[in-house]
A and B are shown apart, each in its own frame.
Chain A
Amino acid sequence: MVERADNQSPPQAEGWHTNGEEPAVTLDAFLSQSNATAVRLEPDEDARALIPHLDRLALIEVAFPKFRDGRGYSSARILREAGYAGELRAQGDVLVDQIAYMKRCGFDSFAPEKDLNPADVEAALARWPEHYQGAADGAVPIWKLRHG
């Protein structure tokens, strides 16, 4: 059973959204019903199927049933690269040591199954001074800093 973000003590870190909202529907349900504004994407589902519908989505919840399964990182980037501007949530086996990378891939909200220590979250998100490569968070890559 999935625990919702609003059931847990919210860490006070940047990018931590815990607002209540309508429940996300499955991709199949979303594609066959036109009024849902929140969808849940499983690791083996194609994020690109959502691209024609991005403007009516307020929330895309990307499932991480196991933290080792990294498909959701690509899903997130693909959605942001396609211009999705709504809430992008990582849900499931989301651990403190993954959230900095998740944020770089475009996630702006996290619904971990197990509570995270807020101080650890803050430290993890503040860890990296710069980044070598461009991603979906708008950070300026190091090569660009080097060459102005």
Chain B
Amino acid sequence: MYKYDEYDHAMVAARVAEFSDQVKRRLAGEITEDQFKPLRLMNGLYLQLHAYMLRVAVPYGTLDGRQMRMLAHIARKYDRDYGHFTTRQNIQYNWIKLEDAPAILEDLASVEMHAIQTSGNCIRNISSDQWAGAAADEITDPRPWAELLRQWSSFHPEFSYLPRKFKIAVIAADEDRAAMRLHDIGIQIVEKDGRHGAAFYVGGGMGRTPMIAPLIKDFVPLDDMLSYAEACLRVYNRYGRRDNIYKARIKILIHELGAEEYRRQVEEEFAHVKSLGIDPPKAEFDRIAAQFASPPLDASASDAIDRSDPDFAVWVDQNVAAHKVPGHAIVNISLKPVGSIPGDASSAQIDLMADLAEKYSHDELRVTHAQNIVLPHVRKADLHVIWQELDAAGLATPNLDLISDIIACPGLDYCSLANARSIPVAQKIATRFSDLGRQKELGELKLKISGCINACGHHHAGHIGILGVDRKGTENYQLSLGGSGAEDVSLGTITGPGFDEDGIVDAVERVTDKYLAERADGERFVDTYRRIGMAPFKEAIYG
């Protein structure tokens, strides 16, 4: 894992001091809320329905036990004893007092964490594959690349007042576990002539105009990556629309220019930017990469798993994934027990996960964009005791990627922009499908819910997506089918008229029944949908 050196420490300390000063000036009335807003946003502080919300960055979703424990401490001391893990691999606290914010940021800084650039119209926290460094299918660990980008984008003087927020994801496997092409810039590390480089996909995003990022450059060598990113951003900063907040994302610029013309402008800018010497030498990449070296894993560890406990075996089959080193496994901890709030974890649960990471996973945890937690480096021989401890804490729900592993945004229960509640819908659907046999029968089924068109809950990318809308003052839900945020990326299509809260649960059930009736051998829900199209599902829903 990346460890701060004196420079990183000094930068975060400076930011904490700066923000403490800004909070002080705000509390003293020296700056207006309008002037304070972009400053607090760049420090992760939103004003929500009931209180301030603080979003803490977890760069590329990686953290160690000490950091995880600090997240529990903050939940306990400054919030209501829980935190909410988000689709951007961060954690949010919903009940923060403005005057506590500087102290929280100081606590975070003591464990090399911060809330820098987790909101605002700047380059946000960089996300990545939650199985980085452990996945059997990656060509390299994407995180050193992400860390280079993190440092380059932190306090970037030219790109802190962009037309709109800017999100970057980096992966290094063909299987896309980070919704890479639904980011403003999605980078896939690829190999060419024995060298690694970055494929740049630019202009993806969700929100009210979802778009899949087109490939802008198939191979950018490591020593050009930051110049290329700088060129991409400069063209956007200069020409992205600023007249309409809903058209300000880079996806709209690229859509209006066309990918070809955007690429031409970027290439021209890149030819100039490359002469400025902003790319660090290979030695800097190597310094970073050394810190992401694989932990010492014993490849001769036993591959055997004692499956005599049937509940344990069910969990292993559903939530444990292949590790690149024999005798090891990746444990996925579901934060989606039936009836709970997706992504929420209590302080006690966060502490327990920190303990397990220290004891069994070489002190590493990951946050996933599906709002779950990962222990990336576990010996197969330890799986059973881990499962027992998780089970005792309500963290062993064996539903990874099943219909109850729902992504849901905070919705009207917390969010000032919401049209409808997301959490109760998630709870009702999970309850309707609570029978595990039924869920397993349905197989991989990604259900995602957003409480408004901003799409924080990734509904466009759901095999089944649900969008809360306001219909003449009552909460109404639109259903869409066929989206995907994975390597088979696609955007969902709306089925037709919306439903009320109970109606949407029934509609989901009619859709899944139709799938079971129609599916061919080995087809996932989304495969069947792609083969037979919308009409049969529409018929099943609206009759």
Contact status of A74 and B157, CB under 8 A, knowing A128-B11, A146-B5: no
Q: In the complex, are the beta carbons of B276 and A69 less than 8 A apart?
A: no
Q: Which of A128, A129, A134, A142 contacts B278 (CB 8 A)?
A: A134
Expressed in whole angstroms, the Cα–Cα distance for A14 and B528 within the complex equals: 67
B-chain residues with CB within 8 Å of residue A70 when the two chains form the complex: 121, 158-163, 237
A-chain residues with CB within 8 Å of residue B97 when the two chains form the complex: none
Q: In the complex, are the beta carbons of B161 and A132 less than 8 A apart?
A: no
B-chain residues with CB within 8 Å of residue A81 when the two chains form the complex: 272, 276
Expressed in whole angstroms, the Cα–Cα distance for A139 and B17 within the complex equals: 21
The residue in chain A whose Cβ has the minimal distance to the Cβ of B9 is A129
Residue A97, interface by CB 8 Å? yes
3 A-B pairs with least C-beta separation: A70-B161, A104-B157, A143-B280
Expressed in whole angstroms, the Cα–Cα distance for A127 and B11 within the complex equals: 9
Expressed in whole angstroms, the Cα–Cα distance for A128 and B11 within the complex equals: 7
The residue in chain B whose Cβ has the minimal distance to the Cβ of A120 is B25
B-chain residues with CB within 8 Å of residue A144 when the two chains form the complex: 280
Residue A130, interface by CB 8 Å? yes
Q: In the complex, are the beta carbons of A128 and B14 less than 8 A apart?
A: yes
Stretch of B147-155, B323-331, B408-416, B438-446 lying at the A interface: B147-155
Expressed in whole angstroms, the Cα–Cα distance for A81 and B269 within the complex equals: 12
Q: In the complex, are the beta carbons of A68 and B161 less than 8 A apart?
A: yes
B-chain residues with CB within 8 Å of residue A95 when the two chains form the complex: 35
Residue A145, interface by CB 8 Å? yes
Residue A71, interface by CB 8 Å? yes
A90 CB to closest chain B CB (Å) equals 12
Residue B542, interface by CB 8 Å? no
Q: Would you give the 0/1 interface string for B125-159, flagging 1 where the beta carbon is closer than 8 Å to chain A? A: 00000000000000000000000000110111111
The residue in chain A whose Cβ has the minimal distance to the Cβ of B18 is A127
SS class of chain B's interface: helix, strand, loop or mixed?
Answer: helix
Query: Which residues of B pack against A, CB within 8 Å?
Result: 5, 7, 10-11, 14, 17-18, 21-22, 25, 30, 35, 38-39, 121, 151-152, 154-163, 226, 234, 237-238, 242, 272, 276-278, 280-281, 283-284, 287
Residue A59, interface by CB 8 Å? no
Expressed in whole angstroms, the Cα–Cα distance for A101 and B18 within the complex equals: 13
Q: In the complex, are the beta carbons of A97 and B22 less than 8 A apart?
A: yes
The residue in chain B whose Cβ has the minimal distance to the Cβ of A81 is B276
Q: In the complex, are the beta carbons of A147 and B157 less than 8 A apart?
A: no
The residue in chain B whose Cβ has the minimal distance to the Cβ of A46 is B238
A sample of 11 more A-B contacts (CB under 8 A), given A67-B38, A81-B276, A127-B18, is A70-B160, A71-B242, A97-B39, A101-B158, A101-B160, A102-B157, A133-B278, A134-B276, A134-B277, A142-B151, A143-B151
Residue A135, interface by CB 8 Å? yes
B-chain residues with CB within 8 Å of residue A56 when the two chains form the complex: none
Residue A131, interface by CB 8 Å? yes
Q: In the complex, are the beta carbons of A145 and B7 less than 8 A apart?
A: yes
Contact status of A132 and B11, CB under 8 A, knowing A81-B276, A147-B284: yes
Expressed in whole angstroms, the Cα–Cα distance for A46 and B22 within the complex equals: 33
A41 CB to closest chain B CB (Å) equals 12
Expressed in whole angstroms, the Cα–Cα distance for A138 and B424 within the complex equals: 54
Residue A38, interface by CB 8 Å? no
Expressed in whole angstroms, the Cα–Cα distance for A100 and B14 within the complex equals: 13
Q: List 6 A-B contacts (CB under 8 A).
A: A70-B237, A132-B11, A133-B226, A134-B276, A134-B277, A143-B151
Q: In the complex, are the beta carbons of A132 and B151 less than 8 A apart?
A: yes
